[in-house]
Amino acid sequence: MFEMKEEYKVGVAGIDEQHAKLFELGEKAYQLLKDEYSIDKYDKIVAIIEELRDYTIVHFKDEEDYMESIHYKKLFSQKIDHEKFIKKISDTDLNKIDQNQDEYIMELLNFIAKWLTNHIIEKDLLIGRNN
């Protein structure tokens, strides 16, 4: 579901490494969701999603610092996107996942995967070209 591909590479090593780590965390949560035999699977999934959220906050900060350092013109629009994404994930009450757990988590992971991929392709790739 989450896969770092060659075409997602921005060309800035630090950013690409962090994007890869975000995909890794997302994939870890997804694999657990599919695992029928895992004990305490929902607790583990919630922990990974929390880790993903926290790491995303660190990543956005680093990415914004980089954009600032190269005087990137679209920094403001990136910041708005980043804030919206963090808000959406933070507003998701992970402790309330007790009914239709699988469906709920699947929807959330789908949202994260789509958002990350679209954001990288439509916005982050431009950072590498500085335009």
Counting Cα atoms < 13 Å in the Cβ hemisphere of 129 gives 9
Residue 124 sits in the site that holds Fe ion (CB under 5 A):
yes
Residue 81 sits in the site that holds Fe ion (CB under 5 A):
no
Stretch touching Fe ion by CB under 5 A, among 31-39, 58-66, 67-75, 107-115: 58-66
**What is the smallest separation between the CB atom of 19 and Fe ion, expressed in angstroms?**
6
Q: 82-111 mask for Fe ion (x: CB under 5 A)?
A: ------------------------------
Nearest CA to 95 out of 103, 87, 104 is that of 104
* Residue 67 Cα distances to 10, 60, 73, 82, 123, angstroms: 12, 10, 8, 13, 12
Q: What is the sign of the dihedral through the CA atoms of 57, 117, 95 and 39?
A: negative
Total site size for Fe ion, rule CB under 5 A: 2
Total residue count of the chain as it appears in this document: 131
Chain position carrying tokens 């919206």: 84
**What is the smallest separation between the CB atom of 124 and Fe ion, expressed in angstroms?**
5
Nearer to Fe ion, 19 or 33 (CB): 19
**What is the smallest separation between the CB atom of 98 and Fe ion, expressed in angstroms?**
32
Interface contacts to Fe ion, rule CB under 5 A: 63, 124
